[in-house]
Chain A
Amino acid sequence: EPEVTQTPSHQVTQMGQEVILRCVPISNHLYFYWYRQILGQKVEFLVSFYNNEISEKSEIFDDQFSVERPDGSNFTLKIRSTKLEDSAMYFCATTGSTFSGANVLTFGAGSRLTVL
């Protein structure tokens, strides 16, 4: 079964450092997403990405965050200057056809970010 692959599985960083989280979407999928889950809390939408540009973003996704698809396969989330409150599990997710009413979000296993 096709998978969404995320790396690293866990990253520990110092406050103020830049972090890049990587995702390899399912190959024929068109929409890409990042979600965040602070420990024990709800899954929060960060951003969606389609056709090489951001299609929607939440209020959480401020100027410290950016996304790109640098090489046509990887989909990355960059946090420029991490804060303590950025500590969370970050999930990449993808969906397939834009013309189906039954799109299913397929999630990666997540990248745990710990900011010290």
Chain B
Amino acid sequence: GNSVTQMEGPVTLSEEAFLTINCTYTATGYPSLFWYVQYPGEGLQLLLKATKADDKGSNKGFEATYRKETTSFHLEKGSVQVSDSAVYFCAGLYNFNKFYFGSGTKLNVKP
């Protein structure tokens, strides 16, 4: 079946460190892939997306590349800031309207 799996958290980094949050998907087809971010006390906001293989989504210094060969969509950022502390959710869109979310990864960035 269809599913999205992401790495367990929490992830704790120092400011300016490199970030990777892993996400893999399973699918019989080719879902669109997303990263959503949830800041404390808020709802989910779209961070970036990619709709087909080899697409790279990017926003606010974050990026993720849709890799068909490894069925992955890992989130990366070269230099994290304290303000990036949040929970990050990977998601896949299947059949136009069915979204599957990963379990979320909490990121703590320390000054």
Which A residues fall within an 8 A CB radius of B?
A: 31, 33, 35, 42-43, 45, 48, 50, 55-56, 91, 93, 95, 98-110
Contacts and interface: CB of A to CB of B under 8 A. Distances in A.
Interface residues of B, number: 23
B42 A105 contact: no
Contacts, number: 59
Contact of B103 (A33, A42, A48, A103): A42
A60 B102 CA distance: 17
B7 interface: no
Interface of B: 32, 34, 36, 42-46, 49, 51-52, 89, 91, 93, 96-104
Q: Which of B34, B43, B98 has the most CB of A within 10 A?
A: B43
B32 A56 contact: no
B43 A31 contact: no
Contacts of B42: 109-110
B43 A95 contact: no
A105 B32 contact: no
23 contacts: A31-B97, A33-B99, A43-B44, A50-B97, A56-B98, A91-B44, A93-B44, A98-B97, A100-B96, A101-B32, A102-B32, A103-B96, A104-B49, A105-B36, A105-B44, A105-B46, A106-B46, A107-B36, A107-B44, A107-B45, A109-B42, A109-B43, A110-B42
Given A42-B104, A105-B99, 9 more contacts: A43-B44, A43-B104, A45-B99, A48-B97, A56-B98, A91-B43, A98-B96, A101-B32, A102-B51
Given A42-B103, A48-B97, A50-B97, A105 B43 contact: no
A102 B51 CA distance: 6
B97 A42 contact: no
A95 B34 contact: no
B96 A101 contact: yes
A110 B89 CA distance: 16
Contacts of B99: 33, 45, 105
A105 B43 CA distance: 12
